[in-house]
Structure 1
Amino acid sequence: MKIFAFLFILLFTNLGFCQNPFYVSIDKTSGLPSNSVYDILQDSKGFMWFATGKGICRYDGSTFKTFSSDEQTSKSGSCLVEDGFGRIWYSNFDGYLYYVEKNVLKSLKQPTSLGYFRFGIIKDELFLLQPNMVLIYDLRTLKVKSKIKISDNQISFSYASPEKFYVLGASLYEFNDSKTYTKHPLPNKFYDEINGSIMNYWDHKLIINSKSNNIYYSFKDGEFTRNALNTTTNFNQNTSIVNNTIWICTTNGIIKNDLDSKETISYFADQNISYLFRDNHKNYWISTLNKGILFIEDFENNYIDIQPRPLTLSLGKNEIYIGAEKDLVYKLNLKKLVTEKVFETENNHATGQIFADTITNNLFFTSFKFNILKNNKIISDYAVAIKDVKKVDHKYFSFAASGISGLFYIDENLKSDWDIIYNKNKSKESSGFGQSMLIKRVNGKSTEYNAVNKTIYYATNNGLIAVTNDGKNEEIKYKNKTLHLIKIQKYKDQLYGLSTSEKMYVINSSNEVSSLKLPYFLSNENFNKFFICNQYCYLFTSHSVYEFNFISGEVQKVLSLSSDIEATDIILKNNKLFFATSKGIVIKNRKEIGNYPKPKLFINEFQVNGKHREVNKFLLLQPDENDISINFSTLSFIPNESYSVFYKINDSDWKILDAATKNLKLSALSSGNYTILLALNYNNQKIDFQQIKFEIKKPFWLSYFFIFISSLLLLLLFFTFYKYQIRKIEKQNEILLQKNELEKNLNLSTLKAIKSQMNPHFFYNALNTIQSYILANDKKQAVNYLSKFSSLTRNILEMTEKEFISINEEIFTMSLYLDIEKARFDKDFEYEINTENISDLEHKIPSMLLQPYIENAVKHGLLHKNGLKKLLITFSKNGDKIRIEIDDNGIGRQKSTELNAIKNKNHNSFATNAMQNRIDLLNKNNKNKITIDFIDKMNQSKQSQGTTVVIEIPIN
């Protein structure tokens, strides 16, 4: 019945009355393995340990590590204790003990189980209750060092104080050491009043509570003292004693009992509480059996429970106005911290914006309508969705709304510099709250006034618009691009704006825009809200609220956010921060925020090739021990705060790991000395440095001796091979030179022999021609051609000694020869020499190459032809070759062969065979060959019309 009375008082009395403190929930959504939590412990390093329905886990402020083993008979348990060796112990509800050592859960070897009873650790000894005895283990060896028999079938509870182990049965057994114990008789009717016992320790006294009533006994120096708490509950699950206060954990909340003043206060009546723990930094952790853990920084009045949730805040003179969901407005008295409801309707509409004018005592807020409230009464309302209101001067206020943005006033009798522009833009047809529309057909999101440049700014869907009192409108852009801001506020002569891309910008009084310069660790953050209070800018991210000091540039975190708590607004007054959160109004002393303990960095485990190694000394590793893994934790003493870690290897640059990463893996490291430094990233500062040093030995093939011997042998082998190859190459070159020289001499000899054979043959043909003139008694022609023959002979003799001659020289020689041959014919023989597409007639061709083919054309092709006889010699350039065509209109090669056969059956053209041999020699060992093609010209009747010889000679 008392519980229901308590709930009634809690829900229906003034909100400033006794209420739950502000807390942060830590449950399965935060990573807790189970929402059923039975025990809490903080170890010597500062980590929090929880005994849950899924076993025990360690919490570093952001992440959980659960420990389990196949040896567990069950996972749920309690009685978390740390021994002097840093091991964490607990007992499952089957009565079996387990401990965490080097990040591994291990089981204690014990004979059997009496069921769940608390064990005790005192100095280096562990006390374990067994059937009819107590086992004492040596914690150094984890072996039983002694057994003390007790014959008692009424064992109900066991407990360990800092110095003694107690067992409560038909008597109270007090174990002083591992050998002796003292048996104390219980008071008369003890179990009549202590129906189900809970034991604890306070002020050097053993406290024995009853689970079903308010009676408790204290025991000290062999004497029992009966006491009573100033509260009654139906069922007590556990007790926790902090200083002079005993906390009774029940299925319907937790009750604080001051053992000195007897004052009692109840909290969390809707929670099933299992335990309360106070950590080294005086924070409270409350475990529940169905909703995880409640973290409480302080039970003092630093939290005001307002439901439905508050959304927006505005500072009045000595109060804060609070706009909440469901069309509610509250006023919070800053002296008494008592709230008063000042506005309420039946509309289920959230209060979007609220602005308190401390001069006129008017309150402007927007919910279902835009309302103007004075003395707790609505003096005006208007159906417009105003998003922001700011004071311009003693008369006007600027407003930003959906569809319109402009000015409004309360007292039209006042005078202002903005009267002209107000009257110019006021519509005669408009009515409502004295508004004038400066900007139309835009969605206004926020507004601000800068008195320095006398400009009103409107953040709209069409950009940032600046309006001056002379009626000029200007869009303020950033790098010539429209600036989409969702909120603007002023500090001194500068505006600060938050964009839709969640970045911060600064607009100075000259309307120049720049990005807000923040410390590195905040520069890449995305901000969803910001508020300026005095010289501080409060930046809201998805996980934290940061305070940025405009003057000093310093940044500090003022509130951690999570899925359990969301903040929407903030007010700074008298160095106290008031946050509008999803749980109500959270109040923090700004001066105490910086006193929070800094986070710490711990190395949990150092593994080499997957095996654990100690890190407290220098390690000498083998060459194949080069896969390193470092597991670490970043310990935060405030929940839901995570920190990244810097690391560097030897003298390399610092690198940063993601905040969610708790392992540094280095694979396939080369041999050498390593110093690995890790540091916690705290507000972009490196703190709490941790160092690991080790050396990876070089493999034997990398030792200096092995390298020296190997290098020497390799060098010797290389030198031997080099000398062998040099000798081999020299011998091959010598043979090749001899072969080339021999071949060259042979070719020259052959060419000279051929030319020496060709010259007499030519001279014979030429002399026959001159002889015909002498026999014809044509002395003049004979003398003329004898002169040409002389010149021709001299040229031929000179060419005999040359391998190559120029085209010019070849043409000159051919002209002399053809002039002589022309004498053998009547006037029906003509020849022509053309040079086409050749700019340079100094190109070289083999000497005496063309003459045999020209001679064949004259002697065998044209000599026997009736009628006009023509010979055409054409020089042209065809790519990288010289093309020479010798064309005649003679009787053709076939007819000439037939005539030669009739005259001389054994005729064999010497010149033809000699030239072919010569060409073969010239083409030998040359990639680009001299080619000769014979073309027999035929008419349609297949009658010969002459022959064309095509010779192509490579230019080089």
Structure 2
Amino acid sequence: MMLKKILFFVLFQLCLGYTQAQEPVSVQLTEKDGLPDKEFYNIIEDRNGFIWLAADKGLFRYDGKVFKNYSNREKRGLSVFEPVEDQLGRIWCNNISGQFFYVENDQLITFIDLGKELNGELSNFVITAENLIVFTKYKIYYVNLLNKKVNTAYETDLAFGLPFEYNNDILFGSFDNLCKLSKGYKKEHLFKFELPKPKKNGKYNVNQKSKLFKLGSTLFFSREHNEKNRFFKLDLNKHQYTEIHDFEVLANQRYLSYFENNGQLWVATQNGVLVYSYNNDIFKLEKQFLEPYHITKIIKDKDDNFWFTTLNNGVFVIPNIHIERLNISAENSNISSLEKIDDNTLFFGTKSGNVGFYDVINHTEDIIDLPSTARVSAIKYHAKEQWIFISKDDGGFLLDNKTKQVAAFNNFHAAKSLSIINNENLLFVNYANVRLLDSENFNKRGQDISSNKRTFTSFYDSEYQSTYIGFVDDLVIYDSDWKPNHIRNNDQSIFATTLTKTANGMIWAATFKDGIYGIAHDKVVSHITTDNGLVSNRIETIKADGNTLWIASVNGIQLIDIETNKIKTLTKRDGIVSYDISGIEILDNTVVFSSNLGLFRINKEAVFKAPIQHNVYFSQIEINEEAIEVKSNYELDYDQNTINIEFNVNGFQFNQKGTYTYRLLGLNTDWVSTETGINSVKYNSLPAGNYTFQVKPVLDFESSDTTIKALKFSIERPFWKTWWFISGLSIFVLGSTVVYYRRKIKQKEQQRQFEIKQLSLDNELINLKLENLRSQMNPHFIFNALNSIQEYIVLNQKILASIYLGKFADLIRTYLNHSTKGRITLQEEIDCLEMYLELEKLRFEDKLEYAINSSGSLTTGEIYIPTMLIQPYVENALKHGLLHRKTDRILKIDFFINDRTKTVKCVIVDNGVGRDKAEEFKARKNKKHKSFATKATQDRLALLNYGKQKQVGVTIIDLFEDDQPSGTQVEIIIPFTT
């Protein structure tokens, strides 16, 4: 297949005398640019400057930064075709499944599914105000846009061609005639083509649909005949046609697409783009570019960028048709030096050691053989003698331009710069020396101007017979007698790398980090940097062209008009091949640049596009990190004060070259500039107020573009800063203050009443303690104790009497001591109960058994309980329960300490006669009064529990055995403290 293509183009060039020369510089969009696919079928630009691409992977919209995909659930497959914009600005497309879609409100909407009607055929269509008109190979369908009713308007067996909108009519061809649909969509035959109709198997054999295209006001028609393309010029007024025979190269190609550009016909083919001129009814092939690629569609956008979709290699853009790559061979593309011989001829040297001539008319390259392969460091043309001085890293050569003879010299090797002095001698500048060589004998050493000092550049000003030399540490001007004078800028050294002179007599020095200096003889009068328009302060080389200055820097190529200070810029996005520029030469109306990627030239009159109005728009608004609908005005709550605003200018170049300036009125009035490629601004925690955000695009340093886009929004005050809230809060505070102090007065009164009542309760508690003490020291107990002591004395048991009397005294002393305390330890309570029960055991004549136990995580000495609380219940157990039992009197007292609930559970169990039997004994003794000790204990419990969350609880349980009373159990729950 590749061999077939090569043979085809060789034959074509031989037949037409066509020679591949230069081609416009194109930029291939790749995945790095976000390109989502490599197989593209069609492309359009809509009225807002968006680029729409129909691709194998779907429909995409490009805004200059991002490719956005449009799809929906109903869509079958990925591929779409034929993007078309309707009168409402909606973008339509279709697919091979027969579905038709349009984009509205940023969503892909399915309009209709004609899968059954089209049966897998990819159709072409036109959108009118009322109908979707679908062209298939043999039928034309009308679909009403309102009710979606489908009508089959026309049928044929000769294959309908592609529709072509022309003068408000829709033209289309069939195999043997040309037709049109007028405004009423009535089909009208314009004329027939008198051509035989080839048949295959009884049917007309047509592989491709016929196509119409125009050039100026002239209409042309192409159709397939016997598997070859034939072309015709149409005259609709006379209903005539004339066959054209200038397109032999297109005869065997399929899938052609046509594009008109300034009177030229561009044809998208399987082998790139063919450009034809048309004069005197003759088409002439002028050039071919993008030759290796199958081009499917060509458009030119509003910014004069040319777009090319390909079938397998993505998308190409030619941003500037006036920037062309010259036809230099690959082995000589890394050019280190460039010199102009005349307006048609350039001389160049390469880093690989080659030198040669380049003919800019015929685009031919003539290499001169040199014995050395070292890098060419500098070249200089001596116009008077027609000599070309060639300096290499390892030697020097002199080329006679008349005879093309080469002579070798050693005196000017590794030159940084070569200059012709007085139109005679050669000034040689290298890494260590400045030397003047005599033109009569270049083998002589010559005159040393400077030694052992690194230099960068030199320039001879013939008007003043002055020589400028840029050293590593200074810029020096020498007069005709070679007397030096240092040129400084505010007493600072100038590190010049390239020197040139404009028509007004100014010398311009380019530097590697300080921009460009303008020098009037020996004084700096101008300094141009990034502050006043340069895209970089690091300059590669400069060249004067009249009173303009061409500047090649590491970030672009610029042209400065030194009289008006206007600066124009070209970047790689404009089609600049490389920023690694080694030379600039002016040839009539073109400028040629040498670089590491070969030679390229620009048309200096046409390369800078006319200023256009760039329309900026808001692409996204985020409030508190959440995207919302883009509107022109917003009313926001006080907490909706983090705002991110994104804006954009559609187009291929702006976001790679231009910047934006913006301000937020209501916050500040100063314009702020963004960096290149930055198109969003974020404001955090804005205060309440009314704001207007303004943004405008800036393409050049002194842009005249005044398009301003504005966005208004207001942020409400928080409710606590509103007048009604402040007023209400003031009233509330005043009222609260009044209520507070009234409550404080009331609380103080309640506290006073409480203290009075508490004092009364304390007095009552003291009385109850005394009463409790009296109950514990009841006369019967004391009488029995004294009787026991008397009995020990009578029986002359002095020791027992003494022990008993001592225990009795200790018990009385302990009761009196406890009566003065509010609380005692549990161990103190147990000790007191031990003393009491020992004395009571004597009273019961040793017929009493008792036991006191305790358990828990805390010891009995660590916790405190109220005083005189348990003994009355023990006394009741003895007095009313066990007293009436004659034998086996048993009393158990258990203490359970619960650290989690902070309570002590005291369980008193006796095996006495029970409460009912005890009441009977009381009745026999005619004791109807209530026990004084019991009443005192109950009153004391009520006082202890008063106002407390945790209260003392007492539970009395009657015990039974075989339905007979077997004793009494008393459970006392006592809160404790530690």
**Interval of TM-score (by shorter of Structure 1 and Structure 2):** 0.5 to 0.7
More moved, 104-113 vs 535-544:
104-113
The one-letter amino acid paired with 1:39 is: N
- Residue equivalent to 1:648: 663
Q: Could you tell me which of 283, 286, 292 is aligned with 1:263?
A: 283
Q: How does 1:657-668 map to 2 (within 5 A)?
A: 657-666=674-683
Partner of 1:790: none
The change in CA–CA distance for 1:196 and 1:288 in structure 2 (over 3 A counts) is same
Q: Tell me the SS of whatever aligns to 2:257.
A: strand
Q: Which residue of 2 aligns with 1:927?
A: none
Residue in 1 that maps onto 2:391: 366
2:409 alignment partner in structure 1: 382
Q: Which runs of 5+ in 1 are unaligned?
A: 413-430, 729-956
Greater shift after overlay, 358-367 or 309-318? 309-318
Query: Across the two proteins, how many residue pairs are aligned to each other?
Result: 705
Give the whole-Å Cα distance in 1 for the aligned partners of 2:179 and 2:464. 84
> Which amino acid letter does the alignment assign opposite residue 520 of structure 1?
N
Does the aligned pair in 2 maintain the 1:136–1:178 contact within 8 Å? no
Task: Name the SS for the 1:591 alignment partner.
Answer: coil
In structure 1, what is the Cα distance between the partners aligned to 2:420 and 2:743?
97
Equivalent position to 2:629, from 607, 613, 625: 613
Give the aligned residue type for 2:44.
Answer: L
Question: Match for 1:251 among 257, 270, 277?
Answer: 270
Q: Is residue 343–residue 587 contact of structure 2 (8 Å, CA) maintained in 1? A: no
Q: How far did residue 388 of structure 1 move?
A: 0.9
SS in 2 for 1:263: strand
Q: How does 1:17-28 map to 2 (within 5 A)?
A: 19-28=21-30
Note closer, same or farther for the CA distance 1:674–1:204 as it changes in structure 2 (3 Å cut): farther
CA 1:556–1:178 in structure 2 vs 1: closer, same or farther (change >3 Å)? same
Question: How far apart are the structure 2 equivalents of 1:363 and 1:704?
Answer: 85
For residue 632 of structure 1, give the secondary structure of its aligned residue in structure 2: strand
CA, structure 1 residues 188+551, in 2 after alignment: closer, same or farther (shift >3 Å)? Answer: closer
How high is the TM-score relative to the length of structure 1?
0.62
The superposition leaves residues 760-803 of structure 1 with CA deviations (integer Å, 9 ceiling, x where unpaired) of xxxxxxxxxxxxxxxxxxxxxxxxxxxxxxxxxxxxxxxxxxxx
8 A contact 2:101–2:111 mirrored in 1: yes
How does 1:550-565 map onto structure 2 within 5 Å? 550-558=562-570, 560=572, 565=577
1:590 aligns with 2:636: no
What's the C-alpha RMSD, in Å, of the aligned pairs?
4.8
Tell me how far apart the structure 2 counterparts of residues 724 and 406 of structure 1 sit (CA, whole Å): 107
**Offset of 1:646 from its aligned partner?**
0.8
**What SS class does the counterpart of residue 713 from structure 1 fall into?**
helix
1:81 aligns with 2:102: no
Instruction: Decide whether aligned partners of structure 1 residues 33 and 592 sit closer, same or farther in structure 2, where only a CA change above 3 A counts.
Output: same
Alpha carbons of 1:134 and 1:234: their partners in 2 closer, same or farther (altered >3 Å)?
closer
Answering whether residue 416 of structure 2 is matched by residue 410 of structure 1, we say no
TM-superposition CA deviations, 1:28-79 (whole Å, max 9, x none)? 155533443322322223444333444444455x534232436454444432
Q: Tell whether the 8 Å contact from 1:646 to 1:679 is kept in structure 2 after alignment.
A: yes
Q: For 2:260 and 2:111, locate their aligned partners in 1 and report how far apart those are by CA, in whole Å.
A: 31
**1:631 shift after superposition:** 3.5
Selected match of 2:257 from 235, 239, 257: 239
Shift of 1:681: 1.2
Which amino acid in structure 1 is aligned with residue 398 of structure 2? I
Q: How does 1:568-587 map to 2 (within 5 A)?
A: 568=581, 569-580=583-594, 585-587=599-601
Does the 8 Å contact 2:543/2:551 carry over to 1?
yes
Deviation of 1:395 (Å): 3.3
Kindly report which structure 2 residues correspond to 1:469-508, keeping only aligned pairs within 5 A, or say none.
Answer: 484-491=495-502, 495-501=507-513, 503-505=515-517
> The residue matched to 1:566 in structure 2 has which SS?
coil
- 2:93 aligned to which of 82, 90, 99: 90
Q: Secondary structure at the match of 2:564?
A: coil
Per-residue deviation, residues 363-420 of structure 1 (Å, max 9, x unmatched): 22334643222224345333511121123324333222234332223136xxxxxxxx
Asked if structure 2 preserves the Cα contact closer than 8 Å seen for 1:194 and 1:215, the reply is no
Please say if residues 10 and 18 of structure 1, whose CA atoms lie closer than 8 Å, have aligned partners that are also in contact: no
Deviation, structure 1 residue 552: 2.4
The Cα of 1:13 is off from its aligned counterpart by: 13
1:508-538 CA distances to partner (integer Å, 9 max, x unpaired)? 6447698545653427654333333332222
1:79 partner amino acid: E
Question: Which residue among 553, 574, 584 is the counterpart of 1:541?
Answer: 553
8 Å CA contact 1:446–1:458 kept in 2: the answer is yes
**TM-score, scaled relative to structure 2:** 0.61
Q: Which amino acid in structure 2 is aligned with residue 84 of structure 1?
A: Q
SS at structure 1 position matched to 2:705: strand
- Counterpart secondary structure, 1:214: strand
1:439 to 442, 445, 450: 450
By how many angstroms is 1:571 displaced? 2.3
Partner residue, 1:117: 123
Secondary structure at the counterpart of residue 364 of structure 1? strand
Spell out, residue by residue over 1:611-660, the C-alpha distance to the aligned partner (whole angstroms, 9 max, x if none). 55354x55555666655444432245768952111111115211122221
Please state whether the residue corresponding to 2:457 is helix, strand or coil: strand
Residue equivalent to 1:520: 532
Residue-by-residue CA offset, 1:232-288 (whole Å, 9 max, x unaligned) = 443222221427765443322333456762324151343322223344566643333
Matched-pair contact (CA < 8 Å) for 1:407–1:436? yes
Work out whether residues 311 and 580 of structure 1, in 8 Å CA contact, stay in contact via their aligned partners in 2: yes
- Label 1:100 to 1:135 Cα distance change in 2 as closer, same or farther (>3 A): same
Counterpart position of 2:760: none
What is the letter of the counterpart of residue 25 of structure 2?
Answer: Y
Give the % identical residues: 15
Counterpart residue number, 2:133: 127
**TM-superposition CA deviations, 1:106-126 (whole Å, max 9, x none):** 544425363422222223533
Partner of residue 277 from structure 1, selected from 285, 299, 311: 299
**Equivalent in the alignment of 2:243:** 227
Distance in 1 separating the partners of 2:639 and 2:48? 34
Distance 1:14 1:355 in 2: 39
Q: Which residue of 1 aligns with 2:696?
A: 679
1:44 correspondence with 2:73: no
Quote the Cα distance in structure 2 between the aligned partners of 1:221 and 1:144.
Answer: 36
- Unaligned 5+ runs, structure 2: 200-204, 747-978
Partner of 2:897: none
Structure 1 counterpart of 2:127, one-letter code: I
CA distance in 2: counterparts of 1:365 and 1:14, whole angstroms: 39
Distance 1:99 1:604 in 2: 23
- Following superposition, the deviation at residue 328 of structure 1 comes to 4.5
Closer, same or farther: CA 346–53 of 1 in aligned 2, 3 Å? farther
Q: Which of 617, 635, 655 in structure 2 is aligned with 1:603?
A: 617
Of the structure 1 ranges 684-693 and 221-230, higher mean CA displacement relative to structure 2 is found in 221-230
Change (3 A) 1:466 1:179: closer
Indicate if the aligned counterparts of 2:102 and 2:108 stay in contact, CA closer than 8 A: yes
Give 1:694's aligned residue.
712
Aligned to 1:343: 368
> Would the aligned equivalents of 2:477 and 2:484 in 1 still touch at CA under 8 Å?
yes
Amino acid at match of 2:551: L
Q: Which residue of 1 aligns with 2:928?
A: none
- Report deviation, 1:12: 11
Contact persistence 1:560–1:641 (CA under 8 A): no
CA deviation digits over 1:791-833, x for unaligned, max 9? xxxxxxxxxxxxxxxxxxxxxxxxxxxxxxxxxxxxxxxxxxx
Taking the aligned partners of 1:131 and 1:452, their CA distance within structure 2 comes to: 75
2:305 and 2:85 mapped to 1: Cα distance?
A: 20
Q: Secondary structure at the match of 2:617?
A: strand
Distance 1:642 1:73, change over 3 A: farther
